Structure 1
Amino acid sequence: MSTFALAIGLVVGNFLHPGINLHIKAGSGSEHAEKAGAEGHGTVEFLQSIVPESLFSPLVGEKVLQTLFVALLIGFAVQKMGKQGEPILNFISTSSSSSSCWAWC
């Protein structure tokens, strides 16, 4: 499927020529990089921003990494439950297989 998507991208790119009227000044990249570095945070602040304040705050917020982090934590917790977590895993697998039809039907 990714090869098919790559072929579509190459065909569309060769016919439409995206970015042909985009004029970028030489050296503007370094200016933007310096500005981003001055405003950016370090690695520790980035990692701390991934951890949400509560389990439900990522559902209403705009940070996707927090949502993924909570999903991983819940997934690990359900797997750690062993036999008691099997009904939850069965529910997730049946709902995810039926939800694929919702996208196409």
Structure 2
Amino acid sequence: MLFTTDLISLAVKKLVESYSDDSSSKTSSELSEEATKAEIESRILLSGAKVEQELAIARRIDSAEEVEIEEYYDTTGKGNIGVTANCESLSAGIGGEGRKVTKRVIKFKGCAPINQS
């Protein structure tokens, strides 16, 4: 886990250095392209960090004597657009609704020896 943290911090440091070296001589389209690349790279790094986190939790579950997990996830969204026209009037409307519920509690108690086969 320490190796992954070091790798992520090194990648971020290199990104910052590469964009701050000669960004004043670049055009706006070049800067926009680099910003898009940086955003994609950061999403990849974030995805990798989430995978590492889940793997660490799975390892801890394997070695714990008692595990309590309580998770809730609900992401709901609705949207609509409407237009009504007749001879005398025109009306348009936009509506939206969103809801987000997130809760994650994982508790570990004790540490059992890990048996690998």
Same fold (TM over 0.5): no
Q: What TM-score, normalized by structure 2, do the two folds share?
A: 0.24
Q: As a proportion of its length, which structure holds more helix?
A: 1
Q: Which has the higher contact order (CA 8 A, sep 6+)?
A: 2
Structure with the greater alpha carbon radius of gyration: 2
Q: As a proportion of its length, which structure holds more strand?
A: 2
